[in-house]
C-alpha cells in the first residue's frame, strides 16, 4: 500500500467514514494566505519543481540548513536542479517531521507520485515526472481549481493598489480573491524606514500626514478603499505585545517626534502601537470585518543572516513573553466602547492554547455565534500534534463546532493539501472518540459538525457572498 493512501491518518472505520463521506469533498475557503496576487492574476507557471516547491519556503530552508546544506542551495545562486537534489537528500532525515507528510501528500495529489518516497536516489525520477506535468498542464489558477478552492484572502499592505484583485473581479475565473488589510509597517514607529513609509501612505491616501489625527484619517481612507475592493478581514503580527496607559495628547506628541525624525523614547513606541491598534479595532467593527491577531513570533533572531539575506527567511522562532494581560486589556477596551469586532486569535507558543481558549469565552456577546475564535495551529504548530492540541483545547474550553476551520498561511500553490491534512486529523480525533463511546455513534450529528468546521462555518462567518 502506498504511504499516502486513502486511509492516511485515519485510524478506524469511524474516522474513515467521517472523512470520506463528510469532509473530503468540501470546498476550500482559504481565508488567510500569503500568495502573491500577481501570480493569480497573471496565472503564473513554473519551469520546474524547485521554482514551485523551494522558492520562498523557509520551512524547507530551515530543514536543509539543519542537515548541513550550504546556504547557496537554499536562498543562493545554485542551479535549480542542484537545489532540488539537496532537498531530496534531506527528506530521509525528515522522518517524524511534518514536512515528510506534507511533501509526500503534495507529490501524490498534484503529480500522482505515490509509488515512491523522495530521497537522493529517487530525485531524478521525481524531477522528471513533476517536470512533465508542470510543462503540460499546471498553472496557478489550475492548481487552485484542482484543489476545490472557492475563495482566498491574500495579505496586503494598506498602501497596495490592489490592482490584481480588481483585475480578477473584472475578469473572474471561478475562484474569488479578496485582500486582507495588514498594517504592520505603520505600527513599527521605532524601526528605520518608518518615515519613508509614511510618505508612501500619504501618496496612497492622497493627503498630507503631519499629525496623528491626519494619520488616522489617511488609514480610514485606505480602510474604506480596501472594503470597496471586497476586503472583510484584517491581520496583525504582534511582537512584544503590551497594553500601556496613554493619553491622546501623549500619542500626538509621540507621532510628532517620530515625524520630525526622532527615535521614540523607551516605552513610547508601545503606547503608539496600542493606541493605533485600538483605532484599527474600531475601523474593523464599524465595517463588520474580522480581525486576526497573530501573537508570539520571535523574528529575525540571527543578526548575521539578517544582515546577509534580510528578514523572513527562516530564522524566526517561538517567543515566550506573557500575552494574557495585554490581550485581555485590548479586548476589554474595545468591548467596553462597543467596538469589539469579530476576531480570530492565533498563538505561536503551545503553552498558550488553554489560556487563549479560555480568553475567547470572556468576550462572546451573543451577537455572532463564535464571535471570538481561537485560530488554527499557526506556523510551528500547523502540524498533526499542533492541530490535535488546538482541537482539544478548544473542545474543552469552548465550542469546537463553531470553529471556522483551517487555512494555509502559505506562499505556495501546493499548500492546499494542508486543508486535507487538517480534515483527516479532525476526523481521526472525532472517530476515535466515537469508537471509545465519548461521542455518539451518530454519523448525521458528527458528520454535520465536520461539514461545519471544514466549510460551513467559514462560509457564514466572514460576510462574503461565496459563489461555487
* pLDDT for residue 387 is more than 90: yes
Give tens-digit pLDDT for 95-105.
999 999 999 99
* pLDDT for residue 464 is more than 90: yes
Confidence (pLDDT) at 241 = 82
CB neighbours of residue 307 within 10 Å: 8
Residue range 300-320: average pLDDT?
93
- Secondary structure string (H, E, C) spanning 396-451: HHCCHHHCCCCCCCCCCCCCCHHHHHHHHHHHHHHHHHHHCCCCCCCHHHHHHHHH
Compute the mean pLDDT over every residue in the chain, rounded to the nearest whole number. 96
Strands of 28-30's sheet in order across: 28-30, 149-153, 176-178
Percent of the chain with pLDDT over 90: 96
Give tens-digit pLDDT for 388-444.
999 999 999 999 999 999 999 999 999 999 999 999 999 999 999 999 999 999 999
* pLDDT for residue 381 is more than 90: yes
Which residue, among 457, 443, 458, 461, has the nearest Cα to 22 in the 3D structure? 443
Give tens-digit pLDDT for 244-269.
999 999 999 999 999 999 999 999 99
Q: At 121, is the pLDDT very low, low, confident or very high (cuts 50, 70, 90)?
A: very high
Confidence (pLDDT) at 312 = 85
* pLDDT for residue 67 is more than 90: yes
Looking at the DSSP bridge assignments, the partners of residue 409 are none
Give the list of residues 6+ apart from residue 196 with CB closer than 8 angstroms, or none.
none
Q: At 94, is the pLDDT very low, low, confident or very high (cuts 50, 70, 90)?
A: very high
Give tens-digit pLDDT for 203-226.
999 999 999 999 999 999 999 999
Give tens-digit pLDDT for 126-166.
999 999 999 887 999 999 999 999 999 999 999 999 999 99
Please, what's the b/e burial string for 404-431 (b: 16 or more CB within 10 A of its CB; e: otherwise)? bbbbbbbbbbbbbbbbbbbbbbbbbbbb
- Is residue 370 a contact partner of residue 456, using CB atoms and an 8 Å limit? no
Confidence (pLDDT) at 137 = 77
- Torsion on CA atoms 346, 351, 357, 363, rounded to nearest 10: -70
Q: At 185, is the pLDDT very low, low, confident or very high (cuts 50, 70, 90)?
A: very high
Confidence (pLDDT) at 408 = 97
Confidence (pLDDT) at 42 = 97
Q: At 191, is the pLDDT very low, low, confident or very high (cuts 50, 70, 90)?
A: very high
Confidence (pLDDT) at 466 = 86
Question: Could you give the C-alpha distances from 65 to 73, 83, 91, 342, in angstroms and in order?
Answer: 9, 12, 12, 40
Confidence (pLDDT) at 136 = 86
Confidence (pLDDT) at 59 = 94
Per DSSP, 297 falls in state E
Confidence (pLDDT) at 97 = 97
| HSE-up of residue 27 (Cα within 13 Å, Cβ side) | 18
Give tens-digit pLDDT for 18-32.
999 999 999 999 999
Amino acid at each position: 500500500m502506498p504511504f499516502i493512501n486513502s486511509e492516511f491518518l485515519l485510524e478506524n472505520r469511524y474516522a474513515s467514514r467521517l472523512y470520506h463521506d463528510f469532509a473530503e469533498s468540501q470546498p476550500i475557503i482559504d481565508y488567510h494566505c500569503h500568495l502573491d496576487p500577481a501570480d493569480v492574476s497573471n496565472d503564473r507557471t513554473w519551469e520546474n519543481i524547485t521554482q514551485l516547491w523551494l522558492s520562498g519556503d523557509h520551512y524547507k530552508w530551515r530543514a536543509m540548513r539543519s542537515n548541513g546544506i550550504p546556504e547557496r542551495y537554499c536562498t543562493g545562486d545554485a542551479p535549480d536542479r542542484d537545489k532540488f537534489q539537496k532537498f531530496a537528500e534531506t527528506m530521509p532525515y525528515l522522518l517524524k517531521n511534518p514536512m515528510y507528510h506534507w511533501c509526500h501528500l503534495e507529490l501524490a495529489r498534484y503529480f500522482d507520485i505515490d509509488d515512491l518516497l523522495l530521497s537522493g536516489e529517487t530525485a531524478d525520477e521525481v524531477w522528471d515526472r513533476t517536470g512533465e506535468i508542470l510543462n503540460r498542464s499546471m498553472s496557478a489558477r489550475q492548481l487552485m481549481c484542482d484543489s476545490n478552492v472557492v475563495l482566498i484572502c491574500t495579505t496586503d499592505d494598506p498602501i497596495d493598489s490592489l490592482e490584481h484583485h480588481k483585475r480578477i473581479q473584472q475578469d473572474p475565473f471561478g475562484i474569488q480573491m479578496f485582500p486582507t488589510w495588514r498594517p504592520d509597517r505603520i505600527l513599527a514607529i521605532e524601526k528605520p524606514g518608518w518615515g519613508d513609509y509614511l510618505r508612501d501612505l500619504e501618496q496612497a491616501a492622497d493627503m498630507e500626514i503631519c499629525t496623528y489625527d491626519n494619520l488616522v484619517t489617511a488609514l480610514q481612507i485606505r480602510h474604506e478603499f480596501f472594503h470597496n475592493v471586497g476586503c472583510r478581514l484584517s491581520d496583525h503580527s504582534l511582537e512584544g505585545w503590551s497594553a500601556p496607559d496613554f493619553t491622546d495628547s501623549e500619542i500626538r506628541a509621540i507621532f510628532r517626534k517620530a515625524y520630525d525624525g526622532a527615535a521614540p523614547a523607551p516605552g513610547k513606541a508601545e503606547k503608539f502601537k496600542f493606541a493605533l491598534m485600538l483605532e484599527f479595532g474600531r475601523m474593523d467593527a464599524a465595517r463588520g470585518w474580522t480581525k486576526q491577531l497573530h501573537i508570539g513570533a520571535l523574528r529575525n533572531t540571527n543578526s548575521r543572516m539578517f544582515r546577509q539575506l534580510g528578514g523572513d527567511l527562516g530564522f524566526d522562532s517561538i517567543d515566550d513573553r506573557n500575552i494574557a494581560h495585554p490581550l485581555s486589556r485590548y479586548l476589554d477596551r474595545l468591548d467596553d466602547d462597543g467596538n469589539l469586532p469579530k476576531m480570530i486569535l492565533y498563538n505561536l507558543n503551545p503553552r498558550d492554547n488553554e489560556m487563549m481558549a479560555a480568553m475567547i469565552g470572556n468576550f462572546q456577546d451573543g451577537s455572532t455565534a463564535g464571535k471570538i475564535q481561537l485560530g488554527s495551529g499557526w506556523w510551528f504548530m500547523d502540524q498533526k500534534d499542533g492541530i490535535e492540541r488546538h482541537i482539544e483545547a478548544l473542545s474543552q474550553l469552548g465550542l469546537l463546532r463553531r470553529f471556522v476551520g483551517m487555512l494555509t498561511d502559505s506562499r505556495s500553490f501546493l499548500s492546499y493539501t494542508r486543508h486535507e491534512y487538517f480534515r483527516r486529523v479532525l476526523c481521526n480525533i472525532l472517530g476515535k472518540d466515537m469508537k471509545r463511546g465519548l461521542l455518539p455513534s451518530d454519523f448525521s450529528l458528527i458528520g454535520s459538525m465536520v461539514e461545519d468546521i471544514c466549510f460551513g462555518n467559514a462560509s457564514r462567518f466572514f460576510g462574503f457572498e461565496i459563489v461555487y
